[in-house]
Structure 1
Amino acid sequence: MALTLYVDTARWRNHQHSVLQQFPGLVPVCKGNGYGFGHERLADEATRFGADILAVGTVYEAARTKDYFGRDLMVLTPYQTTEEPVPLPTRVIRTVASIDGIARLVGARVVVEVMSSMRRHGVTVEDLPKLHAMLDDVRFEGFAIHLPLDSVNAVEEVITWMDRLRSARLPLHTVFVSHVSADELARLQQQFPQTRFRARIGTRLWLGDHEATEYRGTVLDVTRVSKGDRFGYRQQKAVGDGHLVVVAGGTSNGVGLESPKAMHGVMPRAKGVARAGLATVNRNLSPYLWQGKQRWFAEPPHMQVCILFLPDDVSPPSVGEELPAQLRHTTTAPDRIVDR
């Protein structure tokens, strides 16, 4: 009995094809937990549609993925001069975001990331005069610019950097960009026909069609309780008559884990305050649905299961049925993936 990720494989691959058509030269991204699919599965998919480069998050991911993907691997996290050595094949391309980093990677294949409005990392305008001679000591693969998700001036920001790099007489044969639309990519390619722009895409490629995938947790047990009955690890009292439903999927799968959200506007903030208030009295919505409604946790998730509370007026599921679950792919580790 498991937390299962079901994949409508034909639909999922049709979506991949549509994204590949919109973004010529696309570099698929496979980082973190492999967007819920795992690195091996996404490496296989990238091989299937003929990708020549697969981008991964860290050197450790590159070390694991090299056995699944036979062409070039690009590490997105910039090289750190203090990092521990990790054995990697020569087909791995390192991202560098500092002058010191370039100096330490003599002979290596490198992509130089420039500082975008993300203000996260990258070489600065002041670094550009030093780059000219240093690029002769590495196998330079191109520049990269990682833009914000909600940028309204993505094209203008890339153009500004293109002008800076051209003024510094630096090679502009390839520029890798993140978080641009298909129209924005086409505009850049039209304005700079001598440069090959390559979009690095993960979420839109693997998760862009929400109907192609579904998480479901198997019901493992159903127990009748009366108001005041004690249950669970902390021996809380049942808030009313009803049923405790034990369903597959717990903290080891990422169930119950939630990252902070950036809230904008009065209504989202009001909902956030309401959720926080309910949490103080142990009322937390689970990601599991039954009869079309999101159901409450009876207590915090366990390592591999959750206990839900269904009030007396709701007919419980049977053992062996599966409950749909609204889970974030990037924080979820299913027990199994089933193609259908």
Structure 2
Amino acid sequence: MALTLYVDTDRWRAHQRAVAAAFPGLVPVCKGNGYGFGHERLAEEVAMLGSDIVAVGTSYEAASMRELFSGDILVLTPYRRGEEPVPLPDRVIRSASSVDGVYGLVGSRVVVEVMSSMKRHGVAPEDLGKLRAALDDVRLEGFAIHLPLDRADGTDAVEEVIGWMDRLRAAQLPLHTMFVSHLSADELSRLRQQFPQTRFRARIGTRLWLGDHDATHYKGVVLDVTAVTRGDRFGYRQQKASGDGWLAVVSGGTSHGVGLEAPKALHGMTSRAKGVARAGLATVNRNLSPYAWDGKQRWFAEPPHMQVSILFVPAESQEPKVGDEMTAILRHTTTQYDRLVDL
């Protein structure tokens, strides 16, 4: 029995088309685990959208994607000298975020990333003079800027891009194409109006594939149900049941990504208080599972196993039955499903 990803295919694809219409010339991003859908499935979707290019995270992903997609493939991770060489076709475009990286890509198709307020990687303004000479030996596909999602200081994302456009123009560097991330359609429109000779291409992943939350659902099937009374011992560690109810064994465990949680940036006292409360509950073995049953998210009875999770369902709830499915609120980018079902 399986952890299943159900996809309302018509709705999902309608959302994709709406995003593509709002961002002409978009570059679909298919990195990591393919946003929960896998590279093969997303390659098919990109082809249906009619895109001439797809972006992946690493050169290893590009090697895999070349068998799935016939257009150009942009590698987002910047090239570094000394990295393991991966045989790639000429339709693969490498990113570079330093002058040295550009020099290491002689003869290659290259997108140069500039340093944004993300401060993650990118060519700095003071290196633009050196960059001009390095570009003579590569085939420049354009520049790129990766912008932050939030702007706590109130700065304008468009103004940040304009600042870089002015720097590049002052350095007499070509501005035929600029790849951007995390801009709205309205913000892109402002840039296109100000720089009509530049083609702006939005690199979009999350918004494209996961922007309509109601188009996809994970569900785990109930494999076994055992009645327990308060104080009964169970599980690997022989813990005591906290009350009367049922232990429900549900498909989906650590190998699927169940129980994984990425650190979150907390803002405000409310979110911080909730974080403290969750941490306090965890110290007494109270961990909320991603599974919902009878209208409520249920607690893990014990930490998830490799392929299943055991949940405690209290007696006042509806009794789960073998074969029932429980909706699971899972993060697509860290989840590995057993099967995908198109509805």
Q: TM-score, normalised by structure 1?
A: 0.99
Is 2:245 the counterpart of 1:242?
yes
Letter in 1 for 2:315: D
**Counterpart of 1:167?**
170
Deviation at 1:228, TM superposition (A): 1.8
**Counterpart of 1:260?**
263
The alignment partner of 1:77 has SS state of: strand
Tell me whether 143-152 or 6-15 shows the greater mean CA deviation.
143-152
Deviation at 1:80, TM superposition (A): 1.1
**Counterpart of 2:110?**
110
Deviation at 1:65, TM superposition (A): 1.2
Letter in 2 for 1:41: R
CA deviations over 1:60-90 (Å, ceiling 9, x no partner): 1111111111110000000011211111111
Aligned runs of 1:22-101 on 2, under 5 Å? 22-101=22-101
Deviation at 1:133, TM superposition (A): 2.1
Letter in 2 for 1:267: T
Unaligned runs of 5+ in 1: none
Distance in 2 between residues matched to 1:6 and 1:260, nearest whole Å? 27
Distance in 2 between residues matched to 1:266 and 1:133, nearest whole Å? 51
**Counterpart of 2:125?**
125
**Counterpart of 1:138?**
138
The alignment partner of 2:36 has SS state of: coil
Distance in 2 between residues matched to 1:252 and 1:262, nearest whole Å? 26
Could you list the structure 1 runs, at least 4 aligned residues long, displaced by more than 3 angstroms after superposition: none
**Counterpart of 2:212?**
209
The alignment partner of 2:88 has SS state of: coil
CA deviations over 1:99-142 (Å, ceiling 9, x no partner): 11111110001000000000000001111001222212001100
Distance in 2 between residues matched to 1:234 and 1:186, nearest whole Å? 59
CA deviations over 1:7-57 (Å, ceiling 9, x no partner): 000000000010001001000000111111011100110011111110000
Distance in 2 between residues matched to 1:312 and 1:15, nearest whole Å? 41
The alignment partner of 2:192 has SS state of: helix
**Counterpart of 1:192?**
195
Letter in 1 for 2:37: F
Q: How many residues align?
A: 340
Tell me whether 26-35 or 306-315 shows the greater mean CA deviation.
306-315
Is 2:307 the counterpart of 1:295?
no
**Counterpart of 1:147?**
147
Distance in 2 between residues matched to 1:316 and 1:166, nearest whole Å? 67
Distance in 1 between residues matched to 2:69 and 2:136, nearest whole Å? 29
Distance in 2 between residues matched to 1:298 and 1:176, nearest whole Å? 47
| Alignment root-mean-square deviation, CA | 0.8
Letter in 1 for 2:28: P
Letter in 2 for 1:37: F
Tell me whether 163-172 or 76-85 shows the greater mean CA deviation.
76-85
Unaligned runs of 5+ in 2: none
Tell me whether 287-296 or 127-136 shows the greater mean CA deviation.
127-136
Tell me whether 225-234 or 281-290 shows the greater mean CA deviation.
225-234
Distance in 2 between residues matched to 1:309 and 1:157, nearest whole Å? 51
Distance in 1 between residues matched to 2:147 and 2:5, nearest whole Å? 31
**Counterpart of 1:17?**
17
Q: TM-score, normalised by structure 2?
A: 0.98
Letter in 2 for 1:19: V
Aligned runs of 1:219-230 on 2, under 5 Å? 219-230=222-233
